[in-house]
Structure 1
């Protein structure tokens, strides 16, 4: 198989059923920020007809110093090239290490506004025996801080869950956004 060509042969079970597959594919580390990007691209090229959810946009605790503009450019490129790719905005590493930096939240909100149907609020909360109820209660608040910066279409898709219904092909919609008075 050559790079960029679609996989040949019969569809896999997740593809046949339209079941999204979540991949935790970290981009790399602070020492090598895009060390594993080629592997993620290879998976996307190999399964172009699958709905793939990219857990925490490829970021991790080991990748906290990547230039946000470079990361955003990579994400934009992947979303443009792979129409079945969806971003997962869970895990507080996004807020703590990227979105909360001055000027960076707007940059990522603009990206999400440009692809309002291509992100979901989260499926990758990390369970751990050392986490308390208070920590689990705090996680959704932290990971949803980006929502305040989104335009109406992206807000409805992400914060109100429209994209969570759309992704598996459910015939339902999120609530309408109330008009401000």
Structure 2
């Protein structure tokens, strides 16, 4: 993360965060930046190439994953997913993008699962259900090769230290 610019609090501004010439806006994800990352097969957190590494996604489905998984979040390296899982809850303010009326009162599932895929098979745009006329990118992944789940922050910290 040392190659990323930092905000006034010292947090690295991840690759998908919207920004202006002075600072990043952690309340806004840039669809243009997501498209650029997808084009070059780069990580949504650190902005570096995947190479032979798996493309990780947070997943809320129960049971076995289907052959193809579609997500509105851009893929990340495993270590980047673990980093984001630890810092993202602290970066959002009460006025963050998740604080809208459609998602008010939503609570994250007790168990959070991450899945690692061999490839991002396709990227496509779809109209937002919350903001008509606004299109967001979705990522289709295939070839699940690894996964892990966690209930507590300590489990993430331990796996992050190993990664």
Same fold (TM over 0.5): no
Radius of gyration: which is bigger? 1
The structure with the greater share of residues assigned to strand is 2
Q: Which has the higher contact order (CA 8 A, sep 6+)?
A: 2
Q: TM-score, normalised by structure 1?
A: 0.30
The structure with the greater share of residues assigned to helix is 1
